[in-house]
Amino acid sequence: MAEPTAAPEEFLYLATTGHRSGRPHLIEIWFVEHGGRYYVVSERHEASHWVQNVRHQPEVAFMVGRRLRRATARTLDPAAEPELHAKVRELMDRRHDWSEGLIVEIAPQAPSRGE
C-alpha cells in the first residue's frame, strides 16, 4: 500500500522589513512555485505595504511549510518579461482561480554552509 502524500502547502509566509518603521512584518499569502522561485500576487498592487517594503528592502525571509529561508524579492514587469508574467498568471489561475494584481517574485538564496 502506498504512503499518502502530503497535501501541497496552501500559503507562503513572507517576512519583510517595514520601509518606514524598520520593524519586521509577516503576511500569509497564496503562492505558486515555478523554476525554483516563488510567486505571490498583490491584489492592491503598489498600495500594499508589503510591496512597498519589498521595493525599499528586497532582502526578505519566507516560509513554505516549516523551512525558513532567506530570499530576494522583486516585482515582475509584464512588458519586460511577458512570458514569465503569463506563465505565473496561468499557474495562479490553475491553483487558486485568481491572478489579478502585481506579481512579486521571491528568489531563495543559496543555503549557507551549516544550514
Give the pLDDT band of residue 22 (cuts 50, 70, 90): very high
- What nine digits make up the cell of 95? 491553483
Whether residue 4 is predicted with pLDDT greater than 90 in this model: the reply is no
Whether residue 28 contacts residue 13, with contact meaning beta carbons closer than 8 Å, is answered with yes
Instruction: Look at residue 110 in the predicted model and tell me its pLDDT.
Output: 82
State the pLDDT at residue 92: 97
Q: For the domain 30-108, what is the CATH code?
A: 2.30.110.10
* Domain range annotation of the chain: 30-108
* Closest C-alpha among 44, 83, 78, 21 to residue 29: 44
Supply the pLDDT for residue 8.
72
* Single pTM value for the model: 0.89
Distance CA 44, CA 83 (A): 23
Arithmetic mean of pLDDT, 24-52: 96
Q: Tell me the pLDDT tens digit for each residue of 40-99.
A: 999 999 999 999 999 999 999 999 999 899 999 999 999 999 999 999 999 999 999 999
